[in-house]
DNA sequence: GTTCACACGTCAATGCCGTTGTCATAAGCT
DNA sequence: AGCTTATGACAACGGCATTGACGTGTGAAC
């Protein structure tokens, strides 16, 4: 099998399908996102995608080597979209919070793709840009390089890890999703106080809190700890110290 | 279909399979872990599991309602293993750190299974015990209930999210695993300082730091922030305040 | 010791899935 | 106008989870 997939820039013959649709990489990507958005994560199959496109399922393999390849193409968008329109404000804590929430949110828009993509290092353009910016915010805030790198690592991995976690919850079949929530309401809510006093005392709070993502609060804790560390450092070196980063500051 | 699955404690007739194996919930769980451990996550299918057990694939449905149900059992097995031998010391911060690291470590022992299981709420025995204990540590430390629940949520989700993230990295084929690390060494290490000044300035540190899991440090930040919040609360109410939880304390 | 209900392993079938080899046809070049 | 070949369609393969029906041997009852 020579090579099934012809790279998009080299395509010349745009032959319509029986149903009159002219395929393209972009059309397939867009249709996939629409399909997943409107019919849920479980609708993402080659066969259904073919139907949604108005083409034979196998035609998709003229554009992507596999479904995983297609998934990566989708995922590549997310990091870029998360950054679109973002500008640093000069307030490092607000900036990091914004980046973290945007990144998380971008992945949540397409949970099925997010699960498979959130834990890969791409080394591609959008990712490099994000790394540069986050490091810039941290170094610009006055964190020493060693500390900036450690916090960068914790910050990014925590964001991606929660993105995958919450995406997985969203991607569950509705039945399992409901069952997961029901566990907190029904099972934990009825535990005996004599065997599980702490759960019994907080069951109501638990059931309520577990319905939301834990990420915003976890992010807040990370930022608080970072701020405390920064204050401890600056306390010795006064303010206005090293500001090696932040090249985009106030741009 | 009356009810296919008989709960483990009510089982009486232990009828061997054609190949002479006597099935049980525990045997299926153990075999699944062994199967996934030696043949990868993609080997986790009912058919292959049946073969590994020496039984017809459909026999598994006498013990678990679905593969998803089996997955929950796996998750609970990890949580149980993480807690084995754990005792609270009375130092809430050390206790939480220990629980977090144990939980993370337990999932890393079977990365392929952890990827699939880390995102689920099981509502099973070991999980309930862990929830009870963690809440006990937090409430025993003096956190008000609302705050205890929020921190519990952030703490657990952070641990599970990182468990899945790091498991995914470990589960990659060694070649891809090396390639992922190489990205930091080669690609990020050679970026131009004029376009990516912050990466260029910290490339060496980055390459070194990204080789380790970000979890221990992220956990430390979470604990630091929690401690700061506790101090702020206790500052008003002095010490020896409410100690509703911690039933296991000093046991 | 014999009987007997039924728990549980087995079989067969259903309807999905991703993927691929082959063919036919129309697009776009010469 | 003719040719090449890119690209869509078709059919088939093997694998998947799950289920209903079946029959066998277990373990309890007496």
Predicted pLDDT at A124: 72
- Report chain D positions within 7 A of protein CB atoms: 5-11, 15-21, 24-28
A231 contacts: CB under 8 Å, gap ≥ 6: none
Give the best residue of A169, A182, A189, A198 to mutate against chain B (max B CB count within 10 A).
A198
Predicted pLDDT at A246: 47
Predicted pLDDT at A239: 47
Round to whole Å and give the CA distance between B136 and B131: 8
Cβ of A231: how many Cβ atoms within 10 Å?
9
Round to whole Å and give the CA distance between A241 and A37: 48
Q: Is 60 exceeded by the pLDDT of residue A106?
A: yes
Predicted pLDDT at A6: 78
Question: Average pLDDT in the B16-22 region?
Answer: 89
Domain around B27: 8-65
Q: Is 80 exceeded by the pLDDT of residue A237?
A: no
Round to whole Å and give the CA distance between B136 and B88: 10
Write out pLDDT tens, residues A5-55: 877 778 777 888 999 899 998 899 899 989 988 888 788 999 999 999 999
Write out pLDDT tens, residues B56-109: 999 999 999 999 889 889 989 999 999 999 999 999 999 999 999 999 999 998
Predicted pLDDT at B168: 83
Q: Is 80 exceeded by the pLDDT of residue B162?
A: yes
Give kind and range of the element (H or E) at residue B48. helix B46-53
Angstrom distances, CA of residue A55 to CA of A6, A36, A73, A74? 18, 17, 20, 20
Structure tokens at B227: 């401690």
Q: Please check whether residue A118 lies inside any domain of the structure.
A: no
Q: Is 50 exceeded by the pLDDT of residue A249?
A: no
Give the best residue of B157, B166, B167 to mutate against chain A (max A CB count within 10 A).
B157
Spell out which residues of chain B touch residue A187, defining contact as CB-CB under 8 Å: 123, 128
Angstrom distances, CA of residue B32 to CA of B6, B74, B90? 20, 8, 37
- Going by pLDDT thresholds of 50, 70 and 90, the confidence category of residue B246 is very low
Predicted pLDDT at A87: 94
Q: Is 50 exceeded by the pLDDT of residue A242?
A: no
Structure tokens at B155: 């703490």
- Report chain C positions within 7 A of protein CB atoms: 7-12, 16-22, 25-29
Cβ–Cβ gap A132/B198 under 8 Å: yes
Task: Provide the mean pLDDT of chain B.
Answer: 87
Q: Please check whether residue B24 lies inside any domain of the structure.
A: yes
Predicted pLDDT at B70: 92
Q: Please check whether residue A223 lies inside any domain of the structure.
A: no
Q: Please check whether residue B38 lies inside any domain of the structure.
A: yes
Structure tokens at A185: 């309401």
Alpha helical stretches, state H, A89-209: 92-108, 111-117, 125-141, 145-171, 174-182, 197-209
Question: Average pLDDT in the B221-250 region?
Answer: 70
Round to whole Å and give the CA distance between B135 and A199: 7
Write out pLDDT tens, residues B180-233: 777 788 888 889 999 999 999 999 999 999 999 999 999 999 999 999 999 988
Q: Please check whether residue A73 lies inside any domain of the structure.
A: no
Q: Please check whether residue B233 lies inside any domain of the structure.
A: no
Among all strands, which nt has the closest C1' to B18 (CA)?
Answer: C9
* A102/D4 CA-to-C1' distance in Å: 49
Distance from CA of B26 to the nearest CA of A (A): 22
Predicted pLDDT at A244: 46
Q: In terms of Cα–Cα distance, which of B19, B94, B29, B31 is closest to B63? A: B29
Q: How many domains does chain A have?
A: 1
Cβ–Cβ gap A191/B128 under 8 Å: yes
Spell out which residues of chain A touch residue B88, defining contact as CB-CB under 8 Å: none
Footprint of strand C on the protein (CB under 7 A): A 1, 12-16, 44-48, 57-58, 61, 66-68; B 6, 11-19, 22-23, 55-56, 58-59, 62-63
How many interchain CB pairs under 8 A, A with B?
184
This prediction has a pTM of 0.84
Predicted pLDDT at A165: 93
Cβ–Cβ gap B136/A202 under 8 Å: no
Q: Please check whether residue B190 lies inside any domain of the structure.
A: no
Predicted pLDDT at B248: 56
Predicted pLDDT at B242: 45
Predicted pLDDT at A243: 47
Question: Average pLDDT in the A196-212 region?
Answer: 94
Cβ–Cβ gap B165/A119 under 8 Å: yes
Predicted pLDDT at B176: 65
Cβ–Cβ gap B158/A160 under 8 Å: no
Question: Average pLDDT in the A87-91 region?
Answer: 94
Q: Please check whether residue A14 lies inside any domain of the structure.
A: yes
Find the CATH number of the domain harbouring A31.
1.10.10.60
B42 contacts: CB under 8 Å, gap ≥ 6: none
Q: Return the higher-pLDDT residue of B146 and A1.
A: B146
Question: Average pLDDT in the B132-154 region?
Answer: 97
């Amino acid at each position: 099998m020579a090579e099934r997939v012809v790279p998009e820039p080299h395509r010349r013959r745009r032959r319509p399908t029986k149903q009159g649709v002219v395929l393209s990489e972009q059309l397939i990507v867009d249709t996939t996102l629409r399909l997943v958005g409107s019919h849920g994560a479980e609708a993402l199959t080659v066969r259904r995608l073919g139907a949604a496109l108005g083409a034979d399922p196998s035609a998709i393999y003229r554009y992507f080597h596999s479904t995983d390849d297609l998934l990566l193409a989708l995922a590549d968008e997310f990091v870029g979209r998360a950054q679109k329109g973002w500008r640093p404000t000069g307030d490092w804590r607000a900036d990091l919070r914004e980046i973290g929430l945007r990144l998380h949110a971008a992945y949540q828009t397409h949970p099925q793709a997010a699960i498979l993509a959130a834990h890969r290092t791409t080394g591609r353009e959008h990712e490099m840009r994000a790394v540069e910016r986050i490091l810039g915010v941290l170094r610009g805030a006055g964190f020493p390089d060693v500390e900036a790198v450690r916090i960068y690592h914790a910050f990014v991995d925590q964001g991606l890890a929660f993105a995958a976690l919450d995406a997985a919850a969203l991607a569950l079949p509705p039945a399992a999703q409901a069952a997961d929530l029901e566990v907190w309401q029904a099972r934990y809510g009825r535990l005996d106080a004599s065997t599980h006093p702490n759960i019994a005392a907080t069951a109501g709070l638990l059931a309520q809190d577990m319905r939301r993502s834990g990420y915003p609060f976890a992010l807040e804790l990370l930022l608080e700890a970072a701020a405390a560390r920064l204050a401890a450092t600056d306390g010795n070196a006064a303010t206005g110290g090293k500001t090696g980063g932040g090249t985009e500051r106030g741009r």
